[in-house]
């Protein structure tokens, strides 16, 4: 009598265990499926404006546009002893091509104008933001000084940050 009830108990227990295992497996499969669906959606959402294109444009903007512009600003500061008042002052002596000042993702700025926001460094600034590109959907691109801003001695750092929704 005692043994039988204990065996029944074991049977019920193992059935519960299998139900729990089954639920866990189903949950993991569901999580994997929805995760891959989410990633696939991110990569292809908006057709041509997918995440891959967004990142490659941002990388190109930083490497071929923002950093060369920062280098030209540095050359200007070393050459004249002051930072340019406007970004266009770099042309044509410190920066040959106006296209460098254009972001590849920029579709709104009129031709011949710079895509970037320029913040003129002030003497003794620390960690100041020099340039920003507002033309990327989900990323904020900017060039920032690491440490003190000094003509020819500043280390300009490229930053790529996810844009968080402003309240
Ligand atoms: Zn850009």
Q: Which pLDDT value is given to residue 43?
A: 62
Whole-angstrom Cα distance, residue 151 to residue 79? 9
Secondary structure of 4-64 in the HEC alphabet? HHHHHHHHHHHHHHHHHHHHHHHHHHHHHHHHHHHHHHHHHCCHHHCHHHHHHHHHHHHHH
Q: Is the peptide bond before 35 cis (omega within 30 degrees of 0)?
A: no
What pLDDT digit, counting tens, does each position of 65-105 carry?
A: 999 999 999 999 999 999 999 999 999 999 999 999 999 99
Instruction: Report the chain's mean pLDDT, rounded to a whole number.
Output: 86
Q: How far is the CA of 25 from the centre of ligand 1 (A)?
A: 44
Q: How far is the CA of 110 from the centre of ligand 1 (A)?
A: 15
Chain-centroid distance, C-alpha 37: 22
Across 102-116, b (16+ Cβ under 10 Å) vs e yields bbbbbeeeeeeebbb
Domain locations along the chain: 1-44, 50-162
Q: How far is the CA of 89 from the centre of ligand 1 (A)?
A: 20
Q: How far is the CA of 140 from the centre of ligand 1 (A)?
A: 8
């Amino acid at each position: 009598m005692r043994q039988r009830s204990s065996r029944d108990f074991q049977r019920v227990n193992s059935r519960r265990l299998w139900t729990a295992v089954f639920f866990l497996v189903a949950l993991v499969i569901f999580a994997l499926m929805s995760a891959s669906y989410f990633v696939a959606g991110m990569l292809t959402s908006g057709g041509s404006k997918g995440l891959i294109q967004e990142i490659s444009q941002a990388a190109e903007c930083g490497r071929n546009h923002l950093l060369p512009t920062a280098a030209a600003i540095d050359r200007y500061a070393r050459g004249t002893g002051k930072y340019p008042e406007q970004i266009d002052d770099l042309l044509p002596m410190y920066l040959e091509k106006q296209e460098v000042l254009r972001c590849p993702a920029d579709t709104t700025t009129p031709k011949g104008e710079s895509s970037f926001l320029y913040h003129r460094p002030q003497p003794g600034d620390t960690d100041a933001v020099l340039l920003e590109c507002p033309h990327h959907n989900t990323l904020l691109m900017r060039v920032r000084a690491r440490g003190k801003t000094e003509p020819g001695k500043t280390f300009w750092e490229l930053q790529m940050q996810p844009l968080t929704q402003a309240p």
